[in-house]
Structure 1
Amino acid sequence: MPSPWNVYTQFWPPKATLTEQNIASQTGKVFIITGGSSGIGYELSRILYGAGGTVYMLTRTKSNAEDAIRSIEKSFASQEKTTLGQLEFIMMDLEDLESVKTAAQEFTWKEKRLDVLYNNAGVSCVVDKKTKQELEYQCGVNSVGHVLLEKLLRPVMTETSKSSPKDSVRVVWAASVLVDLNAPIGGVAIEKLDTHSTDITETYVTSKTGNWFIASEFSKREGHRTGVLDIAVNPGSYVTNVWRNTPWYLYYPFYWTLRYPIHGAYTYLWCGLSDEVTMKDAVAGRYATCDGRWHPGQREDLLLALKSEDEGGTGQAKAFFDWCESKVAPFV
């Protein structure tokens, strides 16, 4: 069981240290934010644009992205345009791996660098639905689709790392407090991944725990070779669209703990930009949490899952990553 304090501090964290008030100029940098047109993604897009960054929103609804871009630009109407960045939209539907591949190709046609990829988009409580490739919907969208996106963007990120400060090129993965509260022993039930469980909490937690495992495996396997750092984080619990399909009996116990999405953006800023995050941390499988800081203490069974059997662990992180790779292999 997780420590009560470790759970409490994820709902009521200390004040963020990196915000729009003290972020350095991001002029010349390029960012991708999946699901960047609403919720945490919108707030992050707004901050990075205001700091001079070029921000690509990869999302499936063009009208929503265009509305978000207009809203962000309007919020900076009084600021000199020379200090602002750019906002761009690329259509991508994470439930279809063909769409993910097309989006990655479009991005690489337009840009020759990518500094930070934020794998922010996600779904929850989707019942009796599969992705276009017949995967369980939550795992397919939250985890597998983002694995393919990163794999396709790895070459441009590797090139970017060659001319960038050490450990500054990153991929940020969205996890959840439910990793602590609801993940089964070992984190992921590998034997159930292809059975399409109808337990919506179980499948959601699998995807979020899996995202931590994926980040750890990417860093361990490829980080030192590519210079690309992968880190997973619980961004926190917020009033966002991710709750739109949630039954009332699952939503209302959390309702009183929900905060505004801007705080989730602060969490992402720390993960994507802070010097406190290093490749050594990523390779070790460290896990970040709300408002920008390291998790105060993960469950021992989850830490064992990060290690291979040869290292004295259970190898479940490796098994989940290998399962994801098998699903995206035809599209790489």
Structure 2
Amino acid sequence: MSFYSYWTQFFPPRDGAPITEANVSRLDGKVFIVTGGSSGIGYELARVLYGAGGKVYMLTRTKKNAEEAIDRIKAHYADKDAKTGSLEFVSMDLSDFKSVKAAAQQFLDSEGPDGRLDVLFNNAGTGGWKDAPPTPQGHEYHITANSVGHFLLARLLTPILSQTAKKSPKNTVRVVWAASILVEMTSPISGITKEFLEDPFCEKHAGILYAQSKTGNWFLATEFARHQSESGPFGSDVVHIGGNPGSYNTNIWRHVKDLIKYYLVYPTLRDPVYGAYTYMWMGFSNEVTMEAAKAGNYAICDGRWHPGQRADLLLAIKGEDEGGSGRSKEFFDWCEEKVKNFMN
């Protein structure tokens, strides 16, 4: 990896975001899901989407936090004479597959048979958490909360996403997957080790667990895009795109115990609204196409394509017949196996 690749993600060009709340198109009649929308980047994203007229479903764990966030967002626009959209809370814990399934069903019930979903923003997740507990289904916490829970949500919402895509302009219905700069800085060779897939509890280092889970999100975005077909179970015409939204001062740091590391990183952290701008580029930019998604293109802050990932990671998103390791597809299939009992 080049020094420039790291530098431009920690210190992106000032005022370089192509899509911001100042110029985003009106979103009237469009429907969005933001996971983890009650704080941090998710909060800022939900706020901007609502302000542009979008119907926003905030899928997050704590009702009190969500209601307080909704009140703050509405108060933000109260004296601006803005034509806003709507906000709705849906309870969901990504570490619990039962909760994810219930949240997806609540959303579908709310939208009804003629409902729509224009963009699913898979934003929520956990930071590195030393000695994190197993999930309710007994799985490793980081990979479940950051990756597999979102995989299940996307699978359950594939029909409505595909239904929306059929009546929308090409490439406009999308699923956005949150990765991290640690994908390239600290993930193991091939992004996710084979040993981890065989036994997720073999890895004890919270930082590596986090990096693998974020790498998994890029892999899932790429594989979902490649699975698009008219007849398959993974839908059609829905663009899945992964990328690093940037480094921000949010509560994702709440489990970090190493204060020295935290204060070394702190000067590089930005206001979360810029992370929302990255998501908006991933969700709305004309540069994001199905062809780019299938190729494994990867977004970075504040709305740009990555200049070039690590060689082993690029090989991981290629199949063995293409000279790659096939680890990306292997992880996708692994996730499908983990959630199969919650797809009925």
Structure 1: how far apart are the matches of 2:309 and 2:128?
A: 25
Structure 1: how far apart are the matches of 2:307 and 2:229?
A: 24
Residue 176 of structure 1 aligns with an amino acid whose one-letter code is S
Tell me, which stretches of 5 or more residues in structure 2 are unaligned? none
Q: Deviations over 1:57-86 (max 9, x none)?
A: 0000000000000000000002336x1100
Structure 1: how far apart are the matches of 2:31 and 2:187?
A: 34
Task: Specify the alignment match of 1:108 in structure 2.
Answer: 108
Q: Give 1:168 deviation, angstroms.
A: 0.4
Structure 2: how far apart are the matches of 1:174 and 1:118?
A: 8
TM-score normalised to the size of structure 2? 0.94
Task: Specify the alignment match of 1:229 in structure 2.
Answer: 239
Structure 2: how far apart are the matches of 1:309 and 1:184?
A: 19
Task: Specify the alignment match of 1:4 in structure 2.
Answer: 3
Task: Specify the alignment match of 2:170 in structure 1.
Answer: 166
Residue 49 of structure 2 aligns with an amino acid whose one-letter code is L
- Pick the aligned partner of 1:117 from 115, 120, 130: 120
Task: Determine whether 1:220 maps to 2:220.
Answer: no
Structure 2: how far apart are the matches of 1:200 and 1:250?
A: 14
Worse overlay, 219-228 or 113-122: 219-228
Contact 1:267 1:289 in 2 (8 A): yes
Task: Specify the alignment match of 1:317 in structure 2.
Answer: 328
Residue 312 of structure 2 aligns with an amino acid whose one-letter code is D
Residue 242 of structure 1 aligns with an amino acid whose one-letter code is I
Structure 2: how far apart are the matches of 1:226 and 1:43?
A: 29
Task: Specify the alignment match of 2:93 in structure 1.
Answer: 93
How high is the sequence identity, in percent, across the aligned residues?
A: 57
Q: Give 1:223 deviation, angstroms.
A: 6.2
Over aligned residue pairs, what C-alpha RMSD do you find?
Answer: 1.1
Structure 2: how far apart are the matches of 1:110 and 1:120?
A: 21
Task: Specify the alignment match of 1:54 in structure 2.
Answer: 55
- Pick the aligned partner of 2:211 from 191, 205, 208: 205
Structure 1: how far apart are the matches of 2:261 and 2:342?
A: 36
Q: Give 1:53 deviation, angstroms.
A: 0.1
Contact 1:223 1:229 in 2 (8 A): no
Post-superposition, which runs of at least 4 consecutive aligned residues in structure 1 deviate over 6 A? none
Structure 1: how far apart are the matches of 2:127 and 2:143?
A: 10
Task: Determine whether 1:266 maps to 2:277.
Answer: yes
Residue 259 of structure 1 aligns with an amino acid whose one-letter code is R
Structure 2: how far apart are the matches of 1:223 and 1:172?
A: 19
Task: Specify the alignment match of 1:185 in structure 2.
Answer: 189
Residue 131 of structure 1 aligns to a residue whose secondary structure is coil
Structure 2: how far apart are the matches of 1:26 and 1:105?
A: 24
Structure 2: how far apart are the matches of 1:149 and 1:195?
A: 21
Tell me, which stretches of 5 or more residues in structure 1 are unaligned? none
Residue 222 of structure 1 aligns to a residue whose secondary structure is coil
Residue 288 of structure 1 aligns with an amino acid whose one-letter code is A
Residue 188 of structure 1 aligns with an amino acid whose one-letter code is I
Q: Deviations over 1:188-243 (max 9, x none)?
A: 10222324121101100000001000000000012675111100010000000100
Q: Give 1:124 deviation, angstroms.
A: 1.4
Q: Give 1:185 deviation, angstroms.
A: 1.4
- Pick the aligned partner of 2:303 from 270, 289, 292: 292
